[in-house]
């Protein structure tokens, strides 16, 4: 019985991880720079501070030849990391293991050869983390003028 319970809990954990790997994305014809600027403002408008900006696209382009690739993936791609002390406390008081989701990230990317800019984030599991997903969705939508 103990083995069965352990196996069931393991499957539930894997199912939760699979859900968390889904993406929510929006596309726009706005330039990468306009969307990035909109995202920075939308984060600040929520009273939050950007902890870091990862220049993923620049890193991939800089190391492209070093890893033996000739594929240009992005014209530009950045990921913005930030946190909400209030919401993070709420979700971690509900389950301290929600620390695994902090800080929160929203990416902006223009795929090479595309005329659209994407903005998005990883989806979060049901329950308390939906508060964070609602925040990220509001920020992403505000960044491109959907709200």
38: left (phi over 0), alpha (psi -120 to 50) or beta: alpha
Confidence of residue 21 (pLDDT cuts 50, 70, 90): low
Q: What is the pLDDT of residue 13?
A: 46
Structure letter (DSSP) for residue 100:
G
Q: What is the pLDDT of residue 147?
A: 79
Confidence of residue 6 (pLDDT cuts 50, 70, 90): very low
Is a pLDDT exceeding 50 seen at residue 31?
Answer: yes
Q: What is the pLDDT of residue 10?
A: 46
The arrangement of secondary structure in 22-143, i.e. its CATH architecture, is 2-Layer Sandwich (3.30)
Q: For residue range 32-50, list pLDDT tens digits in order.
A: 999 999 999 999 999 999 9
Structure letter (DSSP) for residue 4:
H
pLDDT: is 26 or 6 the higher one?
26
User: Peptide bond preceding 103: is omega within 30 degrees of 0, i.e. cis?
Assistant: yes
Q: What is the pLDDT of residue 63?
A: 97
Q: For residue range 69-94, list pLDDT tens digits in order.
A: 999 999 999 999 999 999 999 999 99
User: Taking residues 16-23, what's their average pLDDT?
Assistant: 60
- DSSP class per residue in 65-90: GGGT-----EEEEEEEEEE-HHHHHH
Q: For residue range 98-139, list pLDDT tens digits in order.
A: 999 999 999 999 999 999 999 999 999 999 999 999 999 999
């Amino acid at each position: 019985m103990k083995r069965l319970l352990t196996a069931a809990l393991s499957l539930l954990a894997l199912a939760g991880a699979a859900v968390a790997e889904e993406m929510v994305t929006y596309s726009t014809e706005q330039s990468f720079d306009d969307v990035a600027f909109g995202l920075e403002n939308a984060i600040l408008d929520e009273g939050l501070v950007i902890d870091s900006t990862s220049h993923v696209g620049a890193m991939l382009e800089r190391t492209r030849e070093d890893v033996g690739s000739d594929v240009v993936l992005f014209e530009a791609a950045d990921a913005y990391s930030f946190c909400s002390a209030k919401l993070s406390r709420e979700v971690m008081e509900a389950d301290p293991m929600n620390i695994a989701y902090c800080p929160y990230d929203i990416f902006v990317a223009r795929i090479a050869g595309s005329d659209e800019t994407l903005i998005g984030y990883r989806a979060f599991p049901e329950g308390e983390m939906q508060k964070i997903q609602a925040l990220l969705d509001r920020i992403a939508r505000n960044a491109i003028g959907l709200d």
